[in-house]
Amino acid sequence: MSQRIIYCDHNSTTRTDPRVAEVMHQAAVEIFGNPSSGHRLGQQARALLDKSRSQIAAYIGAKPSEIILTGTGSESDNLAIFGSLNAPDAAGCHLLTVATEHHAITHSADWAQRHGFEVTILPVDSRGRIDPDDFARALKPTTRLASVMLANNEVGTIHPIAQLATIAHERGVLFHTDAVQAMGKIPVDVNDLKVDLLSLAAHKFYGPKGVGILYVRSGTRLASIIHGGGQETGRRPGTENIPGVVGTAEAMRIIADDPQEAARVGAMAKDLRYRLAHQLDGIEFFGDPENCLPNTVGVGFGGVDGESLAIALDLKCICVSTGSACMTGAAKPSHVLQAMGVSERFLRGSIRFSFGRENVPADAAAIADTVIAEVQRLRKMSPVKV
Ligand SMILES: Cc1ncc(COP(=O)(O)O)c(C=O)c1O
């Protein structure tokens, strides 16, 4: 019998839930019309699209007209940034964001800076937190948009979004949050969060790959970054991905129907944390223990190369990440850990464990035992002191 794979990389992506795949398959083969077509098959697709959009909206406290369907979380982030900066009266305006954002935001901010916009990147403390007073001080009369992620993908730190959005609104500034890592792990409600724009990606919460969502509060001015037909009220042209949207609505329904899941997953992450903390010296946990995604455990192992440890774990059928998935293979130190001031030895030996539906409670002990054995083996071979 082949060894069971322990998948502990749910922040990179998740398996499409079989219930999601089933409704997607049905939609793909049965409802194949183009929602823009006037005939009955087109209108059948339109009806399904409208129903799914309404369901998606309801799960995050939005109106159906406030949901723009995109292709990825990155696209949603790009649309939030460039759609705000490209508004007719926004030339040369100011963008405020944070050093630990996903590259979909930081690289967009770099691009904006190279093309005449003023950009401020707020620093974080050692737990990955920003100071709301720093945030308030960094807003300018010319600030068009502030973008702060709800939860960090590498270390799990959760930002006080409602508080920051309130500060931004008092100064007449639009507020965007990247909630790609938050959905399914902590509550995501656009009214509680008080945001104008919010990004999601279905593949992070057991939905299909290739579906992103951008919530845009009614009345928010947003220019299109793709030019074409009138789909998504002209703000994101292109024939709609009906199976993907149906699957996304189903993925959200499954989350809403199982409010205990976050606690189940959180208990496993806590167990791993406890075991590593009590059985291994020379390690550092990253992030904010008081405000952290329940499933995420970011750890630095002193005296070990993170890539070597991840490979060693993979050989033992344990799948983890050395940072965000997008960084894997690039062999660059994580910009998130660097921004948090993590020391070189823990930066080099960093691993992210992210639990989810693939896991059972015994996984925490199995992962801990294997990690401890592999770290001890690698340390013996390493010239670097713990
Ligand atoms: C916080 C965050 N934002 C955006 C993205 C990009 O999402 P996608 O890969 O769907 O483009 C990711 C993916 O890891 C993420 O973690």
Give the residue, out of 204, 328, 335, 352, with the most ligand 1 atoms within 8 A of its beta carbon, to mutate for a pocket test. 204
How far from 371 is each of 69, 311, 355, 376, CA to CA, in Å? 40, 11, 15, 8
Confidence of residue 326 (pLDDT cuts 50, 70, 90): very low
Task: Say if 1 falls within a structural domain.
Answer: no
- In the prediction, which pLDDT does 2 show? 80
Does residue 375 share a domain with residue 361?
Answer: yes
Does residue 278 share a domain with residue 244?
Answer: no
Confidence of residue 87 (pLDDT cuts 50, 70, 90): confident
Does residue 277 share a domain with residue 156?
Answer: no
Please tell me the distance between residue 376's alpha carbon and the centre of ligand 1 in angstroms.
33
CB atoms within 10 A of CB 288: 19
- In the prediction, which pLDDT does 330 show? 54
Name the residue with higher pLDDT: 382 or 385: 382
The enclosing domain of 121 has a CATH number of: 3.40.640.10
Q: 3-state class of 256 per DSSP?
A: helix
- In the prediction, which pLDDT does 331 show? 64
Task: Say if 386 falls within a structural domain.
Answer: no
Give the residue, out of 74, 81, 154, 214, with the most ligand 1 atoms within 8 A of its beta carbon, to mutate for a pocket test. 74
Cβ(14)–Cβ(6) under 8 Å? no
Ligand 1 atom having least distance to the Cα of 76:
11
Does residue 263 share a domain with residue 253?
Answer: no
Does residue 224 share a domain with residue 130?
Answer: yes
Q: Whose CA is nearest to atom 14 of ligand 1?
A: 12
Average confidence (pLDDT) over 153-165: 98
Please tell me the distance between residue 153's alpha carbon and the centre of ligand 1 in angstroms.
8
- CA torsion sign, 19 to 20 to 21 to 26? positive
Task: Say if 35 falls within a structural domain.
Answer: yes
- In the prediction, which pLDDT does 385 show? 62
The enclosing domain of 266 has a CATH number of: 3.90.1150.10
pLDDT digits (tens, 9 = 90+) for 182-223: 999 999 999 999 999 999 999 999 999 999 999 999 999 999
Does residue 185 share a domain with residue 102?
Answer: yes
Average confidence (pLDDT) over 329-353: 91
Does residue 320 share a domain with residue 247?
Answer: no
Does residue 328 share a domain with residue 213?
Answer: no
Tell me the backbone φ, ψ of residue 174, rounded to 5 degrees.
-70, 150
User: What DSSP designation does 187 have?
Assistant: -
pLDDT digits (tens, 9 = 90+) for 3-55: 899 999 999 999 999 999 999 999 999 999 999 999 999 999 999 999 999 99
Average confidence (pLDDT) over 117-140: 98
pLDDT digits (tens, 9 = 90+) for 293-322: 999 999 999 999 999 999 999 999 999 999
Does residue 278 share a domain with residue 250?
Answer: no
Does residue 210 share a domain with residue 123?
Answer: yes
Q: Which of 93, 292, 317, 326 is catalytic?
A: 326
Cβ(365)–Cβ(275) under 8 Å? yes
Q: Number of structural domains, the chain?
A: 2
Task: Say if 143 falls within a structural domain.
Answer: yes
Rounded CA-CA distance 266/249 in Å is: 24
Q: Average pLDDT, whole number, for the chain?
A: 95
Note down the domain range covering 40. Answer: 18-257
Task: Say if 276 falls within a structural domain.
Answer: yes
Task: Say if 91 falls within a structural domain.
Answer: yes
Q: Whose CA is nearest to atom 8 of ligand 1?
A: 73
Task: Say if 353 falls within a structural domain.
Answer: yes
Which of 227, 257, 287 is a domain's end point? Answer: 257
Give the residue, out of 161, 180, 205, with the most ligand 1 atoms within 8 A of its beta carbon, to mutate for a pocket test. 180
Pocket of ligand 1 (CB under 6 A): 72-74, 77, 102, 104, 149, 153, 178, 180-181, 201, 203, 212, 324-325
- The lowest-confidence range among 74-78, 85-89, 134-138, 310-314 is 85-89
- In the prediction, which pLDDT does 324 show? 43
- State how beta strands 296-301 and 283-285 pair: antiparallel
Task: Say if 354 falls within a structural domain.
Answer: yes
Which of 225, 257, 289 is a domain's end point? Answer: 257
Please tell me the distance between residue 27's alpha carbon and the centre of ligand 1 in angstroms.
26
- In the prediction, which pLDDT does 325 show? 43
Which of 257, 285, 317 is a domain's end point? Answer: 257
Ligand 1 atom having least distance to the Cα of 212:
10
Please tell me the distance between residue 235's alpha carbon and the centre of ligand 1 in angstroms.
21
Please tell me the distance between residue 188's alpha carbon and the centre of ligand 1 in angstroms.
16
Active site residue 326: yes
- In the prediction, which pLDDT does 65 show? 98
Q: 3-state class of 320 per DSSP?
A: coil
Does residue 132 share a domain with residue 52?
Answer: yes
Ligand 1 atom having least distance to the Cα of 209:
10
Please tell me the distance between residue 102's alpha carbon and the centre of ligand 1 in angstroms.
7
Does residue 264 share a domain with residue 241?
Answer: no
CA nearest 196: which of 215, 212, 171? 215
